[in-house]
Each structure stands twice: as C-alpha cells, then as structure tokens.
A and B are shown apart, each in its own frame.
Chain A
Amino acid sequence: MKTNPTALTQLRPLFIFGIPLLCWLSLLQLHKSLPNDEFLVITSGLRLISHSTSLPDSNYKGWIAVNLSDDWWRTLPHEKEAWYRFEIDLAVAPDRLWGIYLPRAAVNAAAWLNGEMIGSGGQMTSPISINWNRPLYLRIPNGLLHPGRNELQIHLVSDLEGYGLLRPFYLGSDRLLAPYFQLRYFLDVTSVEVISVFMVTMSGFMGALWWLRRDSVYGWFAFSIIIWALHNLSLLITNPSIPTAIWWWFWYISVGWAVVGTVFFVSRFLNVIRPSIEHSVLISAGIGSLILAFSASNGYWLRWIGAHLWHSLILIFGAYSTYIVLHAWRRHQHDKELSWLIMSGLLVFSFGIHDWLVTNQWITRIDGLYIQYSAPLVLLVFGWILLMRFVDTLTFAEHLNRNLESRVAEQVAAAEVQHKKIRQLEQQQILAEERSRLMRDMHDGIGGHLISTISLIEGANPSLKEVRKALQVALDDLRLVVNSMDPSIEELETAMFDLRYRLNPRLKATGVEAVWQLDDLQDLAKLGPEYTLQILRIVQEAVTNILKHAQASKVMISATTLNSNLPDSQLKLVIHDNGQGFKMPHGPGKGLVNMQRRAESIGGRVEINSTANGTAVELALPLSKLDVDNTETSV
C-alpha cells in the first residue's frame, strides 16, 4: 500500500508536463482545419520547373498537375525553383478585402493574381529570404478578383536543393483569414522568440553561477542552452547577413552541439562521467561538423548527410543522455529530481525523434519541427532543479553556520565555566600555598624561638635578660613575617628600608655604626614574599649575630645586582663587620646553619668568611631562576 502515494508522486511530473504539452500540440493542430465554408482551400494545381523570374506562359508543356502539399524532398529533391498555377472560380467578385494565407511556403514565395504581382515573402533571388518555418500572408488588392475564372501563380524558391514545400493554402476575407495567420505566426515565430529570450536569460544566469562557483554542471547547462538559442535564430531570422551555405551549416551543427553539451551536463549532474564516451561524443561531433562544412556548398548533400548521419548521431547522443538518466533513476527510484529529469529528457528526446523522422522524410514535415517547443519546460525543470540545489546548498551552509555558532557559544560557555573553575582552583592553591608558607614561617621562626625561650626558662638559673633577648628575637622574626605579608611592601628595597629603620636604633644603641648600600635594589624586579622574608631573616640573623658576638664598631650592609638583565644575573647581599671574627671548632653554629638553610630554600647560597679582622656573610641569589615579575620593576 505504501507504493501507491510514491507512484502518484512519481506520476506528478507526467501530469505537469503532459497537460501543457497537450494544450500546445492541440494549439499547433488548430490551424490545420480552417472552416471550409468560410474560405477557399487550394489543394491542387499545376507546377512548372522553370528558372524564369517572370510569369511563365501558361501554354508551356512542362506544367504538370500536383496535389498540395507538394514536398520537394520527395518530388523535386534537386530543384531550387518552381512555379505553381491555380485556377480560382468565383461566382461574384468579393465585396471586401481578401487575402491569401500560405501556412507554409518554403523557403520563399511570391504570388501573382491574374498576371499582377500581389506580393512576396521577401528577397526571391540569392540570398533569398528564409521563410521556411513561418507562414506568409498576402493581401489581394481590391478589384483584382473578378467573377469567373481567376489565375493565381506562385513562384517558390529554395536556396537549398529540394527544400521547397508548399502546403494547401487559403483565400478568403481578410478580416476572417488574417487572425489564423496571426495565430500561426505567433506559434511559429513569436513564441520561439519568447522561448529564445528565456533561454538566453537562463544561460546567462547559469553561466554566471558557473563563473562564480566554477561548477561545470552550471557551465555545460549554460553552454547547451545558449547553443540551442542560437539554433533557434534560424527560425527567427529571415534575411541573414552571412552566406546561405554557412547559415544552413550552422543550423545543422548548432542543434548537435547543444545535445553534446547536454550529454556533458547530464553526466556531471548525475556524476556518471565516462571519459571514453565523452571523448567519442566530442570527436564524432567534431568530425560530423567538418563533414557538414565540406558538404555545405551542395544543398542536397548537406541535407542528406545532415538528416541521415548528423541527426542520427545527435539522436544517439540524446539516447545516451536519456539512458544515463534512466539508469540513475532505476537505482534511485524515489528521487523526485530524477523523475523530473526523466520526464523532461523524454520530452526532448521524443520531440527530437519526431524531428529526426521529419528530416529523414519518414513522416511529413508539413507541421514543421517540434524540438524548439520542448525547451521551455525543460529549462524550467532544469533551472528549478539547479536553483533548488543552489538554495539547498545555501540553506545547508546557513544551517551549518547556525549550528557552528551555537556550538561555538556552547564551547565558549563551557570554556568560561572551566576557566572559572581553574581560577577558583588557582586561588585555592594560592591560598593553600600562602597558608602553608605561613605555617612554615611560624614553625621556622617564632615557634622555634619560643621553644628555645621555654628551654632557657626551664634551664638552670635563667637570666631574665637572656629571656627577654630570646623573646625579642621571636618578636622580631614575627615582625618580619608580618612585614612580608604587607601588600605595600612589594619590593625587596622597601622591605630593606623597613629593616634598616628597625635595626639602626639597635645598632646605634650598641655603638655600632651602620652603613647601608641599597641603591642597587632600585632596579630589582619584585620578588615574592617568600624570597623577601628569607632575605630579611638572613640579614636580621647576621646583624643579631654581630650585636651578640662580634664586638664590632662598624657594619656594612650592601646589596648588589650582578649582570642584571642577563641570564646569569644574581643578587649579592653582603653583611660585613669589623669585629673579632669567630672560629668554628664544632662546626658552624645554629644561627649559621639556619642562614644556610634559608638561602637554599630560595635557591641561593650563603658563604661566611670570618677572620680576626671581621666577618663577612655573603648571600648569592641567582635571579634568573626566580619567578620574578619582570614587567613591573620598581621605580
């Protein structure tokens, strides 16, 4: 049951094509049967083969009886010129304007009535006007027709051997007959003009698409229809400015190349490109065009080769295109696009077969050629399909873009969340590090000092003075810890200033002259609080030692930066006194060990040189390894 709606859907193109096609074909047939009671229908007469340009004598023996239509393809395949004579019996003279309507008088005709020329379809000698696919209409001057027998003579010329054709024609009231001519003219000429303009426009549009997108599908489509439109020119131009032979040659080859273009277009459209076949198509079309060019000087041969070989070749190309489409359709029967393609392909193909049969004289050519009428629907279908593909691509791209946008937005949001998390983690880590640093500092500093103070008190004969000193050391260290956390102390220089302010009175009270050389710290980048604290502790420890043991009168505290801005830059801090020095018989004392440990914890080194003339504590701290913020140097 499911197949039913699908089958209907697939039949839809048939209806959409079929109905307008039927209307068109019935319109084409409409002119055939003009009402007999209103007009005189001329269906038989006499014909004389003559190259005379003036009226031949009616007494010539060459006049033979013919029935219309008289198709030279069959009756006079090698002739280019002939005369017809018709007798028209009238009971009374017409009281109004009459006309002669020649539905088909190929390639051009002129008419005489009762010995007087009444008109022609244009140039009657080479290059003759080409009216091979359009009706002619001649008005009969008032008073020329008279009661009784009238003689109408028609001179028919063709620049191509055997191309002449005279269909039955009509005489009658101009008012009634002219509209039939106009309808026929519309079908033969005006409609083809409209179609051709449409084709040129479409070709331009598709050509632009090809140019902009370099998509050969659009390119071949544009090529096909522009060639087809040029082919149509042969139906529209009556007085070409090029030699007749070339004109006819172009008429033949243009339709062929339009079909070649179609083969290439369809192959690419369905993506079934077979290079060997395409090469064969190109080569055979090229050879065919050349052969036609050589035979163009002889109309008979041009017509013969054109019809039997060239048109057959074209038909094979068309059959191949149709085959590709059908083949594709067999595999993807539900593809609506393909159904449309098949319908339009079959339409062109069947019209092509009709025209092929006509040019090969297997069916009559009195109705003319059909192929030009297949263009509009085909173009609409193909144009629509290509446009839809284009629109689909655009829609898809937009969809992708939207999708991408939303995905980008999602990613950005996710990244933001992630970033926040990372920042939180970082902050937590910083806090944790700061806490553990403080713990370490307390443990290293005040904790140890308080423990040693307790030991001092618990020892034998604790001296209050000693206890006070020990507590002072603990407080001093705690002060350094507090200082190192002070946000206003970001540079080592500032911290050293504070230390100088605090130590100076103490040194002075002990009678030690202090000299501080801190100018080099000006340009030092910020160190972290950890570094600052350890450096301050080392200096404080050294100064405390001097106060305690050295019996010095002078101390110099100097800071130097070496090789600044170089990879091996380092900070050198020297605390040099002129005291008595010391010896280390039992290894370095606790204070010295502490200094060494503190220096190492920040990647530095302490060296102590002690002589009888003084002691120098030297801290060397490589700066390049430090995580210093070099973008903000102190001012």
Chain B
Amino acid sequence: METKPNILLVEDDTATRNRLSKIIENHSELSLCGAAATHADAHRLLLADPPRVLLTDIGLPDGSGIDLINTIKKQGLTTEAMVITVFADEQHVFSAIEAGATGYLLKDSDAEGIASAIIDLIAGGSPISPAIARHVLKRLTPVSNDNQQTANQCGLTKREREVLTLLAKGLSYAEVATGLEVSVGTITTHVKNIYRKLAVRSRGEAVFEAMQQGLLNISTQ
C-alpha cells in the first residue's frame, strides 16, 4: 500500500474537529490517523504512532498545543507540526513556530484551502504571512551577507532576506518567485530553510538561556 501522509488532528471544538476530519478523510492525498480533543489523548496518540503531520489547536482544555510540538522535538520525531488558528495573530502563531511548528492553518479556510495548506506543508512550502515574515526579519538579523546557506546556521542569507521582505509585503510565493526571477520551488526551499533556522535559533536561545540559569550543564571533555 502506498503511503498517504497520515495526519493527527487535535481540536477541542467538536464541530470544527468534525469538519476538519471530514475534509482530510475526504481528500484523496491525505489520511487521518487520529483526532483528539484533549492534550492527554493527543500526547498518547502522538507517541503511539507518530504521524507525518500533527495538526493542532493551541488552546486545549488540559494543555497547550505548543507542548505537543515540544514533545515532537524532544522525542526526535519526524512529524511536521502545524497549528490551527482563528486569527493567525502574531502572538499565537509565532510561539508555535518558535517551538518548531512549520506552518499554520486558518480555521475558516475552505476545504480546498485546508487540504492544500497541509499538502504544501508536507512539500516544504508552509505559507508565511506578512506578519510572520516581519517577525522573522526582526528576529533573525543577518550575521553575514553571504549567499551560502551553510555559512551560518541561524543567520539569514541575503536571498532569504529578500524572500522574506517580499513576503512581508503580502505577496504570494508565485509573486515572490516572479519578482526574484526564480521558480516557486526555489522559494519554498528558502521558506523551509527559514523555518528550520527559526526553530534552530529558538532552541539555541533556549539552551543558551538554560546554561545561563545553570539549568543545563555541559561538561568539557
């Protein structure tokens, strides 16, 4: 059997959960491996059979969707995380991204929009809204102007900054690709790297902070 990417849905509102479940189940390229209403259930399901994509609401009755994303990173799972949000407001989405989410989904999107967002995510092309692009530009100040992506683990490359600057103006990937005279695929690659850097960056900061506070001990060998 060929593997359709399986998705774990976590949403406490029954109507929304049912709607989203139906959309995923009915889509030919996606499969739903579970739907949970609480953090506890979701956690269990996540560890029992790590899905390809975790689609989670942030505010859960017994915890936060962000904790689930943290669990993925802690357990070293390959699961991609995506948060479901009503407003995509900076505060909510950005904390999720910093925890390791690589995309978000607006709850009021139509069926097609939801499915394509998930597929885009799997393909590596999570959408970046202007708000997120602005935030990333602010957070990841360039360390070098080098175009080489490997030059710096956390700093943005010049190209990535250009991509983000255009995204911050509300342009779509296609428009950005046209503006920079590259393919849409190149843009999605850039975006994926940006997400990765953001997560690395945030984890690096966390480690640094933990060391500062004496919570973490790294012995010199």
User: B-contacting residues of A (Cβ < 8 Å)?
Assistant: 472, 475, 478-479, 482-483, 486, 488-489, 494, 496-502, 504-505, 516, 518
Q: Known A472-B108, A475-B108, A488-B131; judge A497-B89 contact (CB<8 A).
A: no
Would you give 28 A-B contacts (Cβ < 8 Å), ordered by A? A472-B108, A475-B86, A478-B87, A479-B87, A482-B89, A483-B87, A486-B90, A486-B131, A488-B90, A488-B134, A494-B130, A494-B134, A497-B130, A497-B168, A497-B170, A498-B129, A498-B130, A498-B131, A498-B170, A500-B130, A501-B130, A501-B170, A501-B171, A501-B172, A502-B170, A504-B172, A516-B170, A518-B169
CB-CB under 8 A from B169, the residues of chain A are 497, 500, 518
User: A-contacting residues of B (Cβ < 8 Å)?
Assistant: 86-87, 89-90, 108, 113, 129-131, 134-135, 168-172
Q: Nearest A residue to B109 by beta-carbon distance?
A: A505
Between A478, A494, A497, A516, the greatest number of chain B beta carbons within 10 A of the residue's beta carbon is seen for A497
CB-CB under 8 A from A494, the residues of chain B are 130, 134, 168
Distance, CA A564 to CA B130, complexed state (A): 27
Q: Nearest A residue to B172 by beta-carbon distance?
A: A504
Q: How many A-B residue pairs have CB under 8 A?
A: 46
A482 and B87 contacting across the interface, CB-CB below 8 Å:
yes
CB-CB under 8 A from B172, the residues of chain A are 501, 504-505
Distance, CA A451 to CA B169, complexed state (A): 34
CB-CB under 8 A from A500, the residues of chain B are 130, 169-171
CB-CB under 8 A from B135, the residues of chain A are 488
Distance, CA A479 to CA B113, complexed state (A): 18
CB distance from A154 to the nearest CB of B (A): 113
CB-CB under 8 A from B134, the residues of chain A are 488, 494
Distance, CA A103 to CA B70, complexed state (A): 122
Distance, CA A504 to CA B176, complexed state (A): 13
CB-CB under 8 A from A489, the residues of chain B are 131
Q: Nearest A residue to B107 by beta-carbon distance?
A: A475
CB-CB under 8 A from A498, the residues of chain B are 129-131, 170
A501 and B129 contacting across the interface, CB-CB below 8 Å:
yes
Distance, CA A489 to CA B172, complexed state (A): 19
CB-CB under 8 A from B129, the residues of chain A are 498, 501
Q: Nearest B residue to A497 by beta-carbon distance?
A: B170
CB-CB under 8 A from A502, the residues of chain B are 170
Distance, CA A482 to CA B91, complexed state (A): 11
CB-CB under 8 A from B87, the residues of chain A are 478-479, 482-483
CB-CB under 8 A from B90, the residues of chain A are 486, 488
> Told that A498-B130, A500-B130 touch, could you supply 10 new A-B pairs with CB distance under 8 A?
A475-B108, A482-B89, A486-B90, A489-B131, A497-B130, A499-B170, A500-B170, A501-B130, A501-B171, A504-B172
A-B residue pairs, 4 tightest by C-beta: A500-B170, A501-B170, A497-B170, A497-B130
CB distance from A499 to the nearest CB of B (A): 7
CB-CB under 8 A from A483, the residues of chain B are 87, 89
CB-CB under 8 A from B168, the residues of chain A are 494, 497
CB-CB under 8 A from B131, the residues of chain A are 486, 488-489, 498
CB-CB under 8 A from B170, the residues of chain A are 496-502, 504, 516
Between A479, A488, A501, A504, the greatest number of chain B beta carbons within 10 A of the residue's beta carbon is seen for A501
CB distance from B85 to the nearest CB of A (A): 11
Q: Nearest A residue to B87 by beta-carbon distance?
A: A482
Q: Nearest B residue to A485 by beta-carbon distance?
A: B89
CB-CB under 8 A from B108, the residues of chain A are 472, 475
Q: Nearest A residue to B134 by beta-carbon distance?
A: A488
Distance, CA A479 to CA B107, complexed state (A): 12
CB-CB under 8 A from A486, the residues of chain B are 89-90, 131
CB-CB under 8 A from B130, the residues of chain A are 494, 497-498, 500-501
CB distance from B37 to the nearest CB of A (A): 23
Q: Nearest A residue to B175 by beta-carbon distance?
A: A504
Between B89, B113, B130, B131, the greatest number of chain A beta carbons within 10 A of the residue's beta carbon is seen for B130
CB distance from B191 to the nearest CB of A (A): 14
Distance, CA A488 to CA B86, complexed state (A): 18
Distance, CA A499 to CA B129, complexed state (A): 10
CB-CB under 8 A from A497, the residues of chain B are 130, 168-170
Q: Nearest A residue to B130 by beta-carbon distance?
A: A497
Distance, CA A472 to CA B89, complexed state (A): 17
CB-CB under 8 A from A488, the residues of chain B are 90, 131, 134-135
Distance, CA A366 to CA B86, complexed state (A): 124
CB-CB under 8 A from B171, the residues of chain A are 500-501
Distance, CA A488 to CA B113, complexed state (A): 26
CB distance from B168 to the nearest CB of A (A): 6
Between B86, B169, B172, the greatest number of chain A beta carbons within 10 A of the residue's beta carbon is seen for B169
CB-CB under 8 A from A518, the residues of chain B are 169
CB-CB under 8 A from A482, the residues of chain B are 87, 89
CB-CB under 8 A from A479, the residues of chain B are 87
Between B87, B134, B135, B170, the greatest number of chain A beta carbons within 10 A of the residue's beta carbon is seen for B170
CB-CB under 8 A from A505, the residues of chain B are 113, 172
Q: Nearest B residue to A479 by beta-carbon distance?
A: B87
Distance, CA A518 to CA B169, complexed state (A): 9
CB-CB under 8 A from A499, the residues of chain B are 170
Q: Nearest B residue to A476 by beta-carbon distance?
A: B108
CB distance from B5 to the nearest CB of A (A): 23
Distance, CA A81 to CA B86, complexed state (A): 134
Distance, CA A498 to CA B90, complexed state (A): 12
CB-CB under 8 A from A478, the residues of chain B are 87
Distance, CA A489 to CA B169, complexed state (A): 12
Between B86, B90, B131, B171, the greatest number of chain A beta carbons within 10 A of the residue's beta carbon is seen for B131
CB-CB under 8 A from B113, the residues of chain A are 505
Distance, CA A213 to CA B135, complexed state (A): 70
CB-CB under 8 A from A504, the residues of chain B are 170, 172
Distance, CA A488 to CA B129, complexed state (A): 13
Distance, CA A472 to CA B86, complexed state (A): 12
CB distance from A78 to the nearest CB of B (A): 116
CB distance from A540 to the nearest CB of B (A): 14
Distance, CA A499 to CA B113, complexed state (A): 17
CB-CB under 8 A from A516, the residues of chain B are 170
CB distance from B127 to the nearest CB of A (A): 9
CB-CB under 8 A from B86, the residues of chain A are 475
Distance, CA A216 to CA B81, complexed state (A): 95
Distance, CA A504 to CA B89, complexed state (A): 18
Q: Nearest B residue to A488 by beta-carbon distance?
A: B90
Distance, CA A498 to CA B171, complexed state (A): 9
CB-CB under 8 A from A472, the residues of chain B are 108
Q: Nearest B residue to A496 by beta-carbon distance?
A: B170
Q: Nearest A residue to B128 by beta-carbon distance?
A: A501
Distance, CA A478 to CA B130, complexed state (A): 18
CB distance from A83 to the nearest CB of B (A): 118
Distance, CA A78 to CA B135, complexed state (A): 121
CB distance from B68 to the nearest CB of A (A): 24
Q: Nearest B residue to A500 by beta-carbon distance?
A: B170
CB-CB under 8 A from A501, the residues of chain B are 129-130, 170-172
Distance, CA A311 to CA B93, complexed state (A): 110
CB-CB under 8 A from A496, the residues of chain B are 170
Distance, CA A497 to CA B135, complexed state (A): 14
Distance, CA A479 to CA B89, complexed state (A): 9
Distance, CA A498 to CA B168, complexed state (A): 8
CB distance from A555 to the nearest CB of B (A): 15
Q: Nearest B residue to A478 by beta-carbon distance?
A: B87
Distance, CA A518 to CA B130, complexed state (A): 14
Q: Nearest A residue to B94 by beta-carbon distance?
A: A488
Distance, CA A439 to CA B103, complexed state (A): 32
Distance, CA A502 to CA B129, complexed state (A): 9
Distance, CA A226 to CA B91, complexed state (A): 89
Q: Nearest B residue to A481 by beta-carbon distance?
A: B87
Q: Nearest B residue to A489 by beta-carbon distance?
A: B131
Distance, CA A523 to CA B130, complexed state (A): 19
Distance, CA A486 to CA B87, complexed state (A): 11
Distance, CA A483 to CA B130, complexed state (A): 12
